[in-house]
Amino acid sequence: MLTRQGRVIIRFGAELIIEDEHGQRHRCTTRRNLQHAVCGDRVTWTPSDSGNQVVNGILPRRNLLERLDPRGQIRPVAANIDQVVLVIAHRPPPQWPLVDRYLVAIEALGATALLVINKADLDEGTGDGMEERVDLYQALGYTGLRTSVTTGLGMDSLRTHLRDATSVLVGQSGVGKSSLIQALLPDEDLRIGELSEATGEGRHTTTSARLYHLPGGGELIDSPGVRDFTAPPLPVDALARGFVEFRPHIGHCRFHNCAHDREPGCAIKAAMEAGEISEQRYASYLAMKRS
């Protein structure tokens, strides 16, 4: 029988919902021995009238978002992510080392980071260091966008940034991720998803990522497990590359296997002492490396 292509928009245990090129959805199971397909995967599948439809292949992935589950196991969450929207807010105040941890994970994923500073309506210019730190990230090449779900400020701009990409939204608790998603996806579909999370009904909905089409274009993959994902640890070289401003200095240390910690002749530390790399970013690197 004819094999078709589709995209995984949701997974419940062994069952997948596939969307075809016409936007129609099909319930499928996976062929045995097939690698775990996740939300966002492009797959091949075989239609069937008997209802026994099977996914038989996963097309090459652009990337795979993985998380550490509470037991320390690495779990695949979603595939083919173009952009990660990293949400921070004036309240609760950002934990900058955590922001750096997310940025490193985004770099390792090969996705674009979009920094959203939400609750702009609470910005009283109180000298909380937010502006300086956001300026630092912008100087590193990251885009920063101020939004307010309350006043609508920046929301059109956010929609524009989401338009041509598959995105996920992440950030610490209380920054307004659910509020932003509710504003971006005001349809019933999402509310049902939130409801089943709240009631605990359907255990899978609490962890399964789901792909949504945004009304203004673009796609958002969302689940609680995506929003607060904890990335698996990285080897030292990938960790250092995750700090984009370290990259020009990598390979210039005295020791080729320098971990940029206590080694003499470290080019990264020299750049930090020369003021080219910020002390806070270097401190974030050390904290991640030593943990």
Ligand X SMILES: Nc1nc2c(ncn2[C@@H]2O[C@H](COP(=O)(O)OP(=O)(O)OP(=O)(O)O)[C@@H](O)[C@H]2O)c(=O)[nH]1
Q: Does 175 bind ligand X (CB under 6 A)?
A: yes
SS3 286: helix
239 binds, among ligand X, Zn ion, Mg ion, none (CB under 5 to 8 A by kind): none
Q: Does 196 bind Mg ion (CB under 5 A)?
A: no
Q: For residue 203, what are the contacts with CB-CB under 8 A and spacing of at least 6? A: none
Judged by beta carbon, residue 17 or residue 168, the one nearer Mg ion is 168
Q: Does 134 bind Zn ion (CB under 5 A)?
A: no
226 binds, among Mg ion, ligand X, Zn ion, none (CB under 5 to 8 A by kind): none
Encoded tokens for 203: 């255990």
Count the alpha carbons within 13 Å of 50 in the hemisphere toward its beta carbon: 6
Q: Does 230 bind Mg ion (CB under 5 A)?
A: no
Q: Do the beta carbons of residue 142 and residue 133 sit within 8 Å?
A: no
CA-to-CA distance for 224 and 206, rounded, in angstroms? Answer: 7
268 binds, among Mg ion, ligand X, Zn ion, none (CB under 5 to 8 A by kind): Zn ion
Encoded tokens for 106: 């985004």
Q: Does 122 bind ligand X (CB under 6 A)?
A: yes
CA-to-CA distance for 75 and 69, rounded, in angstroms? Answer: 7
In the shown chain, the binding pattern of residues 253 to 272 toward Zn ion, with x for contact by CB under 5 A and - for none, equals x----x-x-----x-x----
Minimum distance from residue 228 beta carbon to ligand X (Å) = 6
Q: Does 118 bind ligand X (CB under 6 A)?
A: yes
Q: Does 117 bind ligand X (CB under 6 A)?
A: no
CA-to-CA distance for 115 and 99, rounded, in angstroms? Answer: 9
Q: For residue 182, what are the contacts with CB-CB under 8 A and spacing of at least 6? A: 149, 190
**Residue among 29, 44, 150, 196 that touches ligand X (CB under 6 A):** 150
Q: Does 177 bind ligand X (CB under 6 A)?
A: yes
**Residue among 63, 178, 206, 278 that touches ligand X (CB under 6 A):** 178
258 binds, among Zn ion, Mg ion, ligand X, none (CB under 5 to 8 A by kind): Zn ion
Q: Does 260 bind ligand X (CB under 6 A)?
A: no
For 213-226, give the secondary structure using H, E and C. ECCCCCEEEECHHH
Closest to 250 measured CA to CA, from 234, 232, 238: 238
Judged by beta carbon, residue 140 or residue 270, the one nearer Zn ion is 270
Q: Do the beta carbons of residue 118 and residue 149 sit within 8 Å?
A: yes
Neighbours of 235 (CB within 10 A): 8
Q: Does 149 bind ligand X (CB under 6 A)?
A: yes
The DSSP 8-state label assigned to residue 93 in this structure reads: P
Residues of the shown chain interacting with Zn ion in the complex, contacts defined by CB under 5 A: 253, 258, 260, 266, 268
Residues of the shown chain interacting with ligand X in the complex, contacts defined by CB under 6 A: 118-119, 121-122, 148-150, 173-179
